[in-house]
Amino acid sequence: MKLNFSVNKTNDGSIGLYNKEVDDIYHSTYGAYNEAVDKFINPSGLESFLQTHNKIKILDICSGMGYNLKAAVDTVFRVNPDCCIEIDCLEIDSYVFSFGLLYKVAQIDYDVHYFLLEKFWDNSVVSECMVELLENDEICQFLDEKLALFFVENKLSEIELMGKCQNNQKIHNIYYKYMSNRNKYTPKSRLKFSKNRLRVFFDDARTSIKHLEGRYDFIFHDGFTPAKQSVLWSYEFFNELKRIISSSGNITTYSSSAPVRAALIQNGFHVSKISSENRKTSGTFASLSKEFSQIPLSDEEIGLLKTRAGIVYHDEGLVQNHDEIIKRREEEVKNSSLASSSSYLKSFKNKNKDILK
């Protein structure tokens, strides 16, 4: 097992991960759970949607540890527990996703965690990854014992019967370790929500998204920052999102960068922002319908999109790597006749000063 992440705590007490390969964090340092609520769940309007709908379809791009997933399901359980849930998760790292399933978010009830475990442990990749994580002493300390017990009691014996762990003494030790605590950590009755469908696709999101069908009500885009991993922020990728989003659906993302907003606009999305006051909750909201727009972009932000800063990332065929995409954009910026962002901002500020005189 090769883990590409290390564990650290964020300011709200929840755990965040650092990706060694990309050299970037999975979550904001101000709080992984807070980020999910403030940048995705609340601005998406999920709660009000659930008050009038009994069916919901969500796409969670770059699920990571599943904070957005857990916060969304928690909202459904609180607001409309009879709602039929359909959620597709796109995540390239199966260990990160599996780690999240065995990690308890303090602000979210165990029922949500048990529900998600049941929905995903039939995925053989997820089950095998969870077993390996439980074997790892360094990682195991961050996993929740109640969730581990729930998994071990209901799934581990089945894995052994499949012959995948028959000769692994360490797996047997884990099994008996948790089973010996079964009286102390007895989970609630297993939830029965068979009508709901939750799936995870472990691949490059650009590959997975080509095979998705139907119309999503909510799309959470939580990829690594464009400067670190541009492959999921191209004009072409957002064109795929346009193909599968419902006419009244919306995309929420923490990113407020000019190339991202410009790419959304060029694909026909109406773009607004999540917050103009609190930097911690800045981000972008996009919908094909203008009536769902939130805080309008300022004149300064709109003007910035028309400068070199607003030149979008391109990835025809959705196959290029990060360096290729960045290099192409750098060439386009270099050869562009558009104003630079610095000269535009200077001119904009001077213009405002003259108005105020």
| HEC-encoded secondary structure of 265-294 | HHCCCEEEECCCCCHHHCCEEEECCHHHCC
**pLDDT at residue 3, rounded to an integer:** 75
pLDDT by residue, tens only, the chain of 357 residues: 677 677 776 666 677 676 667 666 655 555 688 889 999 999 999 999 999 999 999 999 999 999 999 999 999 999 999 999 999 999 999 999 999 999 999 999 999 999 999 999 999 999 999 988 988 888 888 899 889 888 888 887 665 544 545 555 555 666 666 666 655 555 554 444 557 999 999 999 999 999 999 999 999 999 999 999 999 999 999 999 999 999 999 999 999 999 999 999 999 999 999 974 555 557 999 999 988 888 899 999 999 999 999 999 999 999 999 999 999 999 999 999 999 999 999 988 887 765 544
**pLDDT at residue 138, rounded to an integer:** 84
3-state secondary structure of 52: coil
- Domain spans in the chain, listed from the N-terminal domain onward: 5-198, 225-356
Return the sign of the alpha-carbon dihedral for residues 227, 229, 234, 238.
Answer: negative
Matching residue, tokens 């006051």: 277
Residue 283 dihedral angles phi and psi, to the nearest 5°: 170, -170
E strand spans, the chain = 5-9, 15-19, 24-25, 55-61, 84-90, 197-201, 216-221, 245-253, 270-273, 284-287
3-state secondary structure of 247: strand
**pLDDT at residue 179, rounded to an integer:** 62
Q: Could you say which architecture CATH assigns to the domain 5-198?
A: 3-Layer(aba) Sandwich (3.40)
Pairing of strands 284-287, 270-273: antiparallel
**Residues 169 and 160: beta-carbon distance below 8 Å:** no
**pLDDT at residue 190, rounded to an integer:** 43
Tell me the C-alpha distance between 293 and 188, whole Å. 41
**pLDDT at residue 353, rounded to an integer:** 63
Cβ within 8 Å of residue 66, ≥6 positions away: 60, 89, 97, 100, 101, 116
Tell me the C-alpha distance between 183 and 186, whole Å. 6
- Report long-range pairs for 333-337 (Cβ below 8 Å, ≥24 apart): 333/308, 336/308, 336/311
